[in-house]
Amino acid sequence: MLSAGATPSAGLPRVSIQLTIADMPRARADQLFGAEDTFGSEFGPEFSRRLEELVRAGAGVEIEHRPMLVLLDAHRGYIDVGNSESYVEDFVVDREHGIADPVVATLWEGLRFEAQPEIREDGDGVDLDFRLELTALHRPIPESVVELPDLGVPVTIQMPSCTSLAENRRITLRPGRVYAFVLEPESPETAGERAKVVTLEVGVLGPAIGGRGAEETVEPVEIAPR
């Protein structure tokens, strides 16, 4: 499922923001960054080429998300890419009629990306304030069989859990350059084994005409992994 805010406007320059999130072994992430800081470094386009080579090589590297968001200068927007997972968390018992109704809840799984770009007045790139959050549901979902009070009927309830990774940053990035950093799952089962490599690229579209202001975004595009 893909969703985003949208408000009509015209006259202001737009900024394209290409976000890529790749899952890979931590050792591959270190190989990709080389001597550069995995907390956050700026690269040329060769970084994206090296990432694509790792994907094609089948080295346990997978592109999970690759959305593009296009925003008006100095306007905030967001994109959600994912799905809602339903599960039975409880039962409501009607003792008078001897029935039980399931209580169904939902969990969101996927990517939420929120950003606000500002084209620098000196023309030297784009200041980008962003937040991203990745949520992954652990599968299979654990289940428990319990007996309903007064009815003596066994039912199955589900107890899902998730891993969430979130990051807030403000960076300055020039068109044609790549900003990259590594996120590691906090789960002790995967600590040091897997990592998410996040890359951001920007482009400036159109002339600067008109004022700056309120929150706004145009329709984003989710680009399928190659």
Tell me the residue range of the domain where 11 lies: 2-222
pLDDT of residue 188: 52
For residues 172 and 121, the answer to whether their CB atoms sit within 8 Å is: no
What amino acid is encoded at 91 in this protein?
F
pLDDT of residue 152: 83
What would the two tokens of residue 50 be? 């090296």
| List of the chain residues with pLDDT < 50 | 2, 6-8, 208-226
pLDDT of residue 7: 47
HEC per residue, 135-199: EEECCCCCEEEEECCCCCCEEEEECCCEEEEEEEEEEEECCCCEEEEEECCCCCCCCCCEEEEEE
Q: Please give the Cα distance from 119 to 205 (Å, whole number).
A: 11
Encode pLDDT of 8-20 as tens digits. 455 789 999 999 9
Domain count for the chain: 1
- The string of DSSP codes covering 116-129 is EEEE-TTSS-EEEE
Q: pTM for this one?
A: 0.80
pLDDT of residue 122: 87
Q: Is 224 in a helix, a strand, or coil?
A: coil
